[in-house]
Chain A
Amino acid sequence: MAGINITGIGWVTAVGMGCGRDYETFAMPWGPLPDINPSDMFKKPYPNFRRMDEYSRLGLTAIAFALIDAGLSEWTRERNIGIIASTVYGCLGTDVDYYKTVIPDRGSNASPALFSYTLANSYLGEAAIRFGLTGTNYVITEQHPPGLAGLQTALDHIIRGDVEKILSGISDVGCPEVFGEPSKVPPGAVFLMLEKSPAREISSYGKLCLDPKGRVIYNGSEIYDFTTLVQKCLAGARYA
C-alpha cells in the first residue's frame, strides 16, 4: 500500500514522556506536565535548554523523543527534514512574560532573551539547530482546533518531495491565567516522524495518506485527531 510511514513517536503529556517504542498506550489528559530533564533526550550538554520558555522546552522535547524513537537523533551532516507543528495558544504565556518586562519602565528593562521566544515557531528553529534539520518548518494554528491541518500540511510536503522526512505534531502549554479563559486543549506535545521509504532498519507504526479531499487516512481508516492516531499506532505496533 502506498503511503507515508510513521517511524517515530515522541511525547510529553501530563502522564509522562518518552518514545513510542517504550510504551504500549498513550493518553493526553488534563493536568500538570512533568519536569523535563534535558539529559534524558540530549547526550551532549545543552545549557540553552534551561533558558528557553516552557512552550519551547515542551515542543523541543517531544521532537527529540520522536527523533530518538525513529533512530534519527544522531547526525553528522545536516538533513532535509522538515517540521510542521500545530498549536492553539503557541507562545502566548511567553508573550505575557515578555510584556511584563516592558511595562514597569516603558521598555528600558525589556528582555531580549524572552523576546527571542515570542514567536510560535522559535522552538522549531532550536530543533533545527540541535538536530541539523534544514527542511521547511513552521507552525499552523487552526480556526477550530483540535484538527489535523498541520498533519495534512506535513503530508503534502513529503508527498510533493519538498523534504526527505518530516516531523508533524501538536504542542500547547495552555491559556495564560491573565486572559481568564479556560484552555481549549490539554497541555502537552506529541510529534510523529514521517518518512516515505526509510533506508535503515526501522519498523513502521503504520501508514498515512491523504484521500482526494485531503482527509488523513491511517492504515485505510480516516482519523480525526492526533491522540487517537497515536493510540492506534501503539496498538498496531503491539500486535504487529
Chain B
Amino acid sequence: MGVDNLKNIESGRVVVTDAAVVTALGNNLDALWQGLMAGESAIRPINRFPVDQGHYKAKIAAHIDDLKAVNDRSMLQHLLDRLFLEMGSVPSDSALITATIKAGADNLESFCRGKQANFQDVLLSSIADIVGAKLGLISNGICVSASCASSTIAVAHGAALIESGRTEAVLVCCGDLITEYAFSGFSALKALSPFPCRPFDRDRKGLSLGEGAAALLLMNADRARRENRNRLGTILGWGITNDATHITAPAKNGRGLVQAVDQALKTAKRKPEDIAAISAHGTGTVYNDLMELNAFRQVFSERKMPLYSIKGAIGHTLGAAGAIEVTLGLKALLSQVIPPTVGFSNPENGAEGQVSPESHPVSGDYLLTTNSGFGGVNAALILGK
C-alpha cells in the first residue's frame, strides 16, 4: 500500500471489546472501580524489600500483597497469569502489542546478587513471550517502551494499526512491578512522597509507586459486531509528542502535552468542547501536576474541566499506567461518573473546581486521557462511548 492509499483510508471506529486489570486494589476492574469510588487507597507500608534503614525517601507503595515469584520466574509471570483469568477469548490472529518499562526487574536484581533467575523475563520482550505463548497467538509481539506513557502509546499504536486496515484485532498487554530497583531510583531522584501521594494538591510531595497490569482487546467495529463482542468503548484519537526540554522533568509550559492533546483531538475529529472529562497523569510530583494544569488550561481555556488522577489510590504503575487508566476511563464514560482523586484535599492553584476528592457525575461521550514521562514523552488518547 503506497502513501496515497493509506492517506485515503477513512477513519473507522476502533472498539475495545474486552479488558482486564490487576492492581493493588484488586484482581479485576470491578474491584478497582469499587475501591476507587469508595475513596480507598492501596498505598501502605512496603514489605517486599527492606526500607526501614532510612535510606529511602519513602517506605510506602501500592503493592499487590500475594504476588509470587515461582521457581526462577519473575513475579511478572504471576501477575500476567492473574490478569488473564479475567480476560475473555482472544482471537489467535490478534496482533500483540505489549508495554513495560522494566519487565521482570526482580529477576535482574537476582542476577546482580548472584542468584539463579530466568533471563528471558528480564528482557523488554518478556511480556510478549509470556502472553504470546499463553494465548497461542499466531504473530510475534512487540513491546513499546516510552517511560510512563508506554502503554498509552501501545493503545494508540494498536488503534492505528486497526484503522489502517492492516489488522482487525490487537491485544494490548502491559505490566510493571514494584522492585527495589525502581523504588531506589525514584528515591534517589527525590521523586517519592513520604506519605500516600496527593495529586493536584498544594501539599503534594511526590509520587507513590504502584504495580499492576492491564490487557485490552481492540477490534475493528465490523468484526466486533460480526462476532457479537462486547463494546466497552472506542479509541477515537491519539497524539504523541516530545517536549525536547529535559530528560527527567516536564516542560513547565506544557507545550508538548498541549501538542499531543491537539493531535489526539484532530485524529478523533473532535473539539475541546466535546470532551466531558480528563483522566490526567497526575503523579503527585510538584512539576508534573503543575505542567498538566498549565497544559489543560491552554487547551480548554477557562472551562473548568472535570479532572481526576487515580494514582493516590493505586500508585504510579509506570509502564502499565496508561492502559489501566484507559480501562477505567471507558468505565467512567459508560457510568457517566468520574472517580475521586484520592489524597486530594487542598487544591493547587488552577485545580479548584476541577479536581475533587469525591466522585463526580459527568455528561458527555468523550474522555481525554494523558500520560507523560521521562525522556520528555507525552501521549494523549480520546476515548469514546
* Chain A residues in the interface with B (C-beta under 8 A): 1-4, 78, 87-90, 92, 95-96, 98-100, 102-103, 105-108, 110-112, 115-116, 118-122, 124-126, 128-129, 132-144, 147, 149, 153, 156, 159-162, 178-181, 196, 209-214
Complex contact A125–B181 (CB within 8 A): no
Q: A107-B55, A133-B244 are in contact. Are A99 and B166 (CB under 8 A)?
A: no
Complex contact B147–A105 (CB within 8 A): no
Most chain B C-beta atoms within 10 Å of own C-beta, residue among A89, A120, A149, A181:
A120
Q: A99-B112, A125-B247, A137-B377 are in contact. Are A110 and B184 (CB under 8 A)?
A: yes
Chain A nearest CB from B1 CB (Å) reads 5
Q: Which residues of B contact A107 (CB under 8 A)?
A: 55-56, 180, 183-184, 187-188
Which of B4, B125, B187, B242 is close to A135, meaning CB atoms less than 8 Å apart? B242
**In the complex the two chains form, what is the Cα distance from A107 to B105 in whole Å?**
16
Complex contact A179–B111 (CB within 8 A): yes
**In the complex the two chains form, what is the Cα distance from A68 to B190 in whole Å?**
37
Which of B108, B124, B246, B375 is close to A124, meaning CB atoms less than 8 Å apart? B375
Stretch at the interface among B135-143, B216-224, B337-345: B135-143
**In the complex the two chains form, what is the Cα distance from A140 to B166 in whole Å?**
18
**In the complex the two chains form, what is the Cα distance from A102 to B123 in whole Å?**
20
Which of A121, A129, A133 is close to B147, meaning CB atoms less than 8 Å apart? A121
Q: Which residues of B contact A142 (CB under 8 A)?
A: 125, 140, 142-143
Chain B nearest CB from A119 CB (Å) reads 5
Asked if B64 CB lies within 8 Å of chain A CBs, one says no
**In the complex the two chains form, what is the Cα distance from A209 to B4 in whole Å?**
11
Q: Which residues of B contact A214 (CB under 8 A)?
A: 166
Q: Which residues of A contact B146 (CB under 8 A)?
A: 121, 137-139
Asked if B153 CB lies within 8 Å of chain A CBs, one says yes
Q: Which residues of B contact A112 (CB under 8 A)?
A: 185, 188-190
Excluding A99-B108, A132-B244, 17 further A-B contacts by CB distance (< 8 Å) are: A2-B3, A2-B4, A90-B145, A95-B102, A95-B181, A96-B112, A98-B181, A98-B185, A112-B189, A122-B247, A134-B242, A135-B241, A136-B242, A137-B240, A141-B123, A161-B7, A179-B122
Question: Interface residues of B: mostly helix, strand, loop or mixed?
Answer: mixed
The total number of A-B Cβ pairs within 8 Å is: 199
Most chain B C-beta atoms within 10 Å of own C-beta, residue among A87, A107, A143, A153:
A143
Asked if B178 CB lies within 8 Å of chain A CBs, one says no
**In the complex the two chains form, what is the Cα distance from A212 to B9 in whole Å?**
12
Which of B55, B108, B122, B142 is close to A106, meaning CB atoms less than 8 Å apart? B55
Ranked 6 nearest A-B pairs via Cβ: A125-B375, A138-B146, A115-B185, A2-B2, A136-B240, A107-B184
Which of A103, A125, A213 is close to B242, meaning CB atoms less than 8 Å apart? A125
Most chain A C-beta atoms within 10 Å of own C-beta, residue among B246, B247, B259:
B247
Chain A nearest CB from B157 CB (Å) reads 7
Nearest A residue to B55 by beta-carbon distance? A108
Q: A107-B56, A116-B189 are in contact. Are A140 and B181 (CB under 8 A)?
A: no
Which of A3, A98, A143, A213 is close to B166, meaning CB atoms less than 8 Å apart? A213
* Chain B residues in the interface with A (C-beta under 8 A): 1-4, 6-7, 50, 53, 55-56, 96, 101-102, 105, 108-109, 111-113, 119, 122-125, 128-129, 132, 140-147, 149-150, 153, 157, 160-161, 164-166, 180-181, 183-190, 239-248, 256, 259, 263, 374-377
Complex contact A210–B1 (CB within 8 A): yes
Chain A nearest CB from B282 CB (Å) reads 20
Which of B102, B113, B240 is close to A103, meaning CB atoms less than 8 Å apart? B113
Q: Which residues of B contact A156 (CB under 8 A)?
A: 160-161, 164
Q: A128-B243, A137-B242, A209-B1 are in contact. Are A119 and B374 (CB under 8 A)?
A: yes
Which of A100, A129, A138 is close to B112, meaning CB atoms less than 8 Å apart? A100
**In the complex the two chains form, what is the Cα distance from A179 to B119 in whole Å?**
7
